[in-house]
Amino acid sequence: MTNYNCKEEAVVPMTELDRDTLLAALRSRRTIRQFKDRQVEQEKTEKILETGRYSPTGSNAQNAAFTILGNRQKEAEGICVNLFRTVKKLGSGFVPFLKRVEILNSFFFKGAPLVIVVSSKSNVNSGLASAYMEIMAESLGLGVLYSGFFVVCAKISGKLRKLIQLPKGHKVVSCIIIGHPAVKYQRIVPRKEINAKTL
């Protein structure tokens, strides 16, 4: 095959993972919304990106892009905050939630040091990459918040899409906010009964 960097790699089957620990860890994962004032180490960031790179894609398209907001993070958050404050002003009369919510300057990224925007032409490919990256981040002792609110802002704001240099034809599928967690949970969020059937 051309265009590939084909180096020999050890194959590690998933069966080598302890499945009970894996299931228990997946069941225990929680969203983190409070972060320590501490950078995410470069090796950890690289591991997270590498996990996204190796996530499966339809037809092996490998078409997800990962954008670390880096030096533009504050500016991106500023655009989102202004947008939501406008929405709050216009919509508070109709939507009670908007009246109650306070949109602080850190409303979107919660002071976290690392924000990765995952974009693609395919929701599924990017969604899978995001989930893989989340699990890797948590295995590295980091906390993660998916920001659906940021995705909404990227849909509305051309200014934001320009700032994050969204690749042509891509849409923002997820925004993964990562940092060292400043909280520890005692409990998981209760789940409904499974919605599954066999035909």
Ligand X SMILES: Cc1cc2nc3c(=O)[nH]c(=O)nc-3n(C[C@H](O)[C@H](O)[C@H](O)COP(=O)(O)O)c2cc1C
Which residues are within 8 A (CB) of 108 and not within 5 positions of it... i.e. 6 or more apart? 77, 80, 81, 147, 149, 150, 153, 177
Q: CB nearer to ligand X: give 41 or 188.
A: 188
Q: Which is nearer to ligand X, 8 or 103 (CB)?
A: 103
Binding mask 14-53 for ligand X (x = CB under 6 A): ----------------xx-x--------------------
Select 140 or 149, whichever has its Cβ closest to ligand X.
Answer: 149
Q: Does 123 bind ligand X (CB under 6 A)?
A: no
Q: What residues from 148 to 177 belong to the interface with ligand X (CB under 6 A)? A: 148-149
- Least Å distance, CB 59 to ligand X, is 24
Among 174, 135, 141, 151, smallest CA distance to 55 is for 135
Least gap, CB of 174 to ligand X (angstroms): 6
Report if residue 146 touches ligand X, rule: CB under 6 A. yes
Q: Least distance (Å) from ligand X to the CB of residue 176?
A: 10
Q: Are the C-beta atoms of 171 and 121 separated by less than 8 Å? A: yes
Task: Tell me the torsion sign for CA atoms 159, 165, 166, 168.
Answer: positive
**In the complex, what is the shortest distance from the CB of residue 191 to ligand X, in angstroms, rounded to a whole number?**
9
Give Cα separations from 176 to 46, 91, 191 (angstroms). Answer: 14, 27, 23
Of 22 and 46, CB closest to ligand X:
22
Measured CA to CA, the distance from residue 108 to residue 92 in angstroms comes to 19
Residue whose tokens read 């919304």 = 33
- Count Cβ atoms below 10 Å from residue 26 Cβ, excluding itself: 10
Q: Which is nearer to ligand X, 45 or 147 (CB)?
A: 147
* 120 counts as binding ligand X under rule CB under 6 A: no
- Of the candidates 174, 153, 173, the residue with the CA atom closest to the CA atom of residue 163: 153
Q: What are phi and psi of 198, to 5 degrees?
A: -110, 125
Q: CB-wise, 47 or 146, nearer to ligand X? A: 146
Give me Rg for the CA atoms of the chain: 19
Residue 17: CB minimum distance to ligand X, A: 21
Q: Which of 67, 122, 126, 147 binds ligand X (CB under 6 A)?
A: 147
**What residues line the site for ligand X (CB under 6 A)?**
30-31, 33, 145-149, 189
